[in-house]
C-alpha cells in the first residue's frame, strides 16, 4: 500500500468520525455550557491517548501475517456494513444521515435535563458526559483506523498525521460555522470510505491468509473500482420501483380509541422498599456489565453477526485454498464478500 493511499483512506475515514463527534460536542456546549463540554472532550482524549499508548506497541509487534488476517477481517466487517448502509441510503431504502436532525435531537435532550449544579470542578455533568461519550466513541473508531491502516502499511506516524489533519479540519470548520456541519457531504464520504475499507480488508485478509494477489499491491488499483462499481449496481438493484399506492383501509372505531394505560400496582411503603433495594443495585451492576459487553460486541462485530461469521469462514476457506493454489485463493474471499453484501442488505430491510 503506497503512502498516498494510506493518507487518503485514513483522512477520509477519520473525517467522517470527526464530523459526528463535532455535532455532539456542539450540542453539549451550546446548551449545557462550553466549560463542561470542553472538560468532557479533554477527558475522552486522555482515555484514548492511554489506550493508544498501551495497545499501539503490541499491535506493531504482531507477526505481519497475523496482523493482516486480524486487521483484514475487522476492516471487512466494518466496510461491508458501511457499504450496506450507504447502498440502502443511496437507493432510498433508508433515510440519509442528517447532521442537522441529529444536532436538534441532541439539543432537545440536553435542554430537557435539569439545571447545572455549578459546583465542583465539573459544573454540569450531563454536558460533560455527553461530550465525553461522543468523543470517546467516535475516537475509538479513529484509533482503530489509525492502528490498522498504519500497522499494515508500517507507517503509523503517517496514519496518525492524516487522522490529526482530519480532526483539525473539522475543528476549524466547526468553530467557523458554530453549528452542525451539514454541508459536509457525509453520506457520499461514508459511501467512499465503506468502499475503501472493504477493498483494503479484502486485500489484507486474503494476503494474510496466504493468497497471492495478481500484481501484488497494484491489485488495489483494480480492487477499489471493482468494489465501487459493485456497490453502485446494488444501489440500482435496491432502488424501489414506482408502484401505485393502495388505498388505506378505514380505521375501525375501536382502533381509533387511544389505549388506556394500566396503573402499576403499588406496594407497601415499608417492607417493599427494603426488599427491592438490593435488587436495584444488582440490576444496575448487571445493566452496566451488559452495556459494556454490548458496546464492544457492537464495535467489533456491528449490527449483523452473520457478516462477521461469513468473513471468518471466508478467510479460513481462503487459507485452505492458498495451501495448494495461492495465486487463485483470493477469488474465494472476493466471492464471499460479493455474496454477503447483498444478503446483509436484504436482511436489514426485513
pLDDT band at 191 (very low <50, low <70, confident <90, very high): confident
Question: Model's pTM, two decimal places?
Answer: 0.66
Using DSSP's 3-state secondary structure scheme, residue 273 falls into helix
The verdict on residue 87 lying in a domain is yes
Is residue 11's pLDDT more than 70?
yes
Structural domain that includes position 178: 3-239+287-349
122, 36 Cβ separation under 8 angstroms: yes
pLDDT for the residue numbered 285: 67
What is the CB neighbour count within 10 angstroms for residue 176? 9
> Beta-carbon neighbour count of residue 248 at 10 Å?
6
How many CB atoms within 10 Å of residue 296?
A: 10
Q: How far apart are CA 340 and CA 224, in angstroms?
A: 17
Task: Report the Cα 181 to chain-centroid distance in Å.
Answer: 18
Q: What's the CA gap between 166 and 157, in Å, rounded?
A: 14
Q: Is residue 247 part of a domain?
A: no
pLDDT over 60 at 185, yes or no: yes
Q: What does the pLDDT look like over 303-345, one tens digit per residue?
A: 788 899 999 999 999 999 999 899 999 999 999 999 999 999 9
Separation between Cα atoms, residue 109 and residue 22, nearest integer Å: 17
The dihedrals phi and psi of 178, each to the nearest 5 degrees, come to 55, 40
Q: What is the DSSP letter of 260?
A: P
**Number of domains, the chain:** 1
In a domain, 34, yes or no: yes
Mean pLDDT of 292-311: 78
What cell was used for 12? Answer: 477520509
Report the distance separating Cα 238 and Cα 93, nearest Å. Answer: 7
Most confident of 29-38, 93-102, 294-303, 338-347: 338-347
User: What's the mean pLDDT when you consider all of the chain?
Assistant: 77
pLDDT of residue 256 exceeding 90: no
If pLDDT is split at 50, 70 and 90, which confidence band does 68 have? confident
Q: What's the pLDDT score for residue 101?
A: 67
Taking a C-beta distance cutoff of 8 angstroms, is the pair 219, 28 a contact? no
- The pLDDT, as a whole number, for residue 152 is 72
Check if the beta carbon of residue 220 is closer than 8 Å to that of residue 200: yes
Half-sphere exposure of 237 (CA within 13 A, CB side): 13
Contact partners, residue 252, CB within 8 Å, separation at least 6: none
Higher pLDDT, 106 or 48: 48
Task: Report, as an integer, the average pLDDT of 261-287.
Answer: 46
Q: Which residue has the higher pLDDT, 86 or 299?
A: 86
Complete DSSP assignment for 208-229: HTT---TTGGGGHHHHHHHHHH
The pLDDT value given to residue 292: 63
Q: What is the pLDDT at residue 251? A: 45
Residue 92 lies in a domain: yes
Q: Average of pLDDT values for 258-267? A: 40
**pLDDT greater at residue 59 or residue 232:** 232
Nearest to 114 by CA among 32, 28, 40: 32
* Of residues 286 and 192, more confidently modeled: 192
Q: Give the pLDDT score at 318.
A: 94
309: in domain: yes
Q: What is the number of other CB atoms lying within 10 angstroms of the CB of residue 160?
A: 20
pLDDT digits (tens, 9 = 90+) for 125-165: 788 888 888 888 888 888 888 887 777 767 777 888 888 89
Label residue 183 by pLDDT band (50, 70, 90). low
From the list 309, 311, 306, the residue with the least C-alpha distance to 338 is 311
* pLDDT value, residue 113: 64
Amino acid at each position: 500500500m503506497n503512502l498516498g493511499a494510506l493518507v487518503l483512506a485514513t483522512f477520509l475515514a477519520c473525517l467522517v468520525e470527526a464530523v459526528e463527534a463535532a455535532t455532539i460536542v456542539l450540542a453539549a456546549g451550546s446548551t449545557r455550557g462550553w466549560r463542561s463540554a470542553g472538560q468532557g472532550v479533554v477527558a475522552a482524549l486522555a482515555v484514548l491517548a492511554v489506550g493508544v499508548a498501551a495497545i499501539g506497541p503490541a499491535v506493531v509487534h504482531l507477526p505481519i501475517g497475523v496482523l493482516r488476517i486480524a486487521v483484514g477481517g475487522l476492516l471487512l466487517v466494518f466496510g461491508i456494513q458501511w457499504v450496506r448502509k450507504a447502498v440502502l441510503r443511496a437507493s432510498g431504502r433508508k433515510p440519509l444521515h442528517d447532521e442537522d436532525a441529529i444536532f436538534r435531537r441532541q439539543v432537545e435532550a440536553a435542554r430537557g435535563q435539569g439545571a447545572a449544579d455549578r459546583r465542583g470542578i465539573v459544573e454540569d455533568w450531563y454536558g460533560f458526559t455527553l461530550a465525553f461519550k461522543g468523543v470517546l466513541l467516535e475516537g475509538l473508531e479513529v484509533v482503530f483506523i489509525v492502528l490498522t491502516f498504519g500497522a499494515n502499511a508500517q507507517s503509523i506516524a503517517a496514519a496518525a498525521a492524516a487522522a490529526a489533519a482530519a480532526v483539525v479540519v473539522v475543528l476549524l470548520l466547526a468553530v467557523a460555522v458554530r453549528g452542525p456541519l451539514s454541508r459536509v457531504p457525509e453520506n457520499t464520504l461514508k459511501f467512499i470510505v465503506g468502499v475503501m475499507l472493504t477493498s483494503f480488508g479484502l486485500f489484507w485478509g486474503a494476503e494474510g491468509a496466504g493468497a497471492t494477489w495478481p500484481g501484488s499491491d497494484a491489485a488495489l488499483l483494480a480492487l477499489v473500482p471493482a468494489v465501487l462499481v459493485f456497490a453502485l449496481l446494488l444501489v440500482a438493484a435496491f432502488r424501489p420501483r414506482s408502484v401505485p399506492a393502495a388505498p388505506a383501509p378505514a380505521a375501525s372505531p375501536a382502533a381509533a380509541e387511544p389505549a388506556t394505560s394500566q396503573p402499576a400496582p403499588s406496594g407497601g411503603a415499608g417492607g417493599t422498599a427494603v426488599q427491592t433495594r438490593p435488587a436495584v443495585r444488582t440490576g444496575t451492576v448487571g445493566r452496566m456489565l451488559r452495556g459494556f459487553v454490548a458496546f464492544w460486541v457492537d464495535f467489533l462485530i456491528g449490527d449483523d453477526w452473520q457478516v462477521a461469521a461469513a468473513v471468518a469462514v471466508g478467510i479460513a476457506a481462503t487459507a485452505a485454498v492458498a495451501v495448494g493454489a495461492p495465486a487463485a485463493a483470493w477469488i474465494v474471499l472476493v466471492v464471499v464478500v460479493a455474496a454477503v453484501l447483498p444478503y446483509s442488505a436484504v436482511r436489514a430491510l426485513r
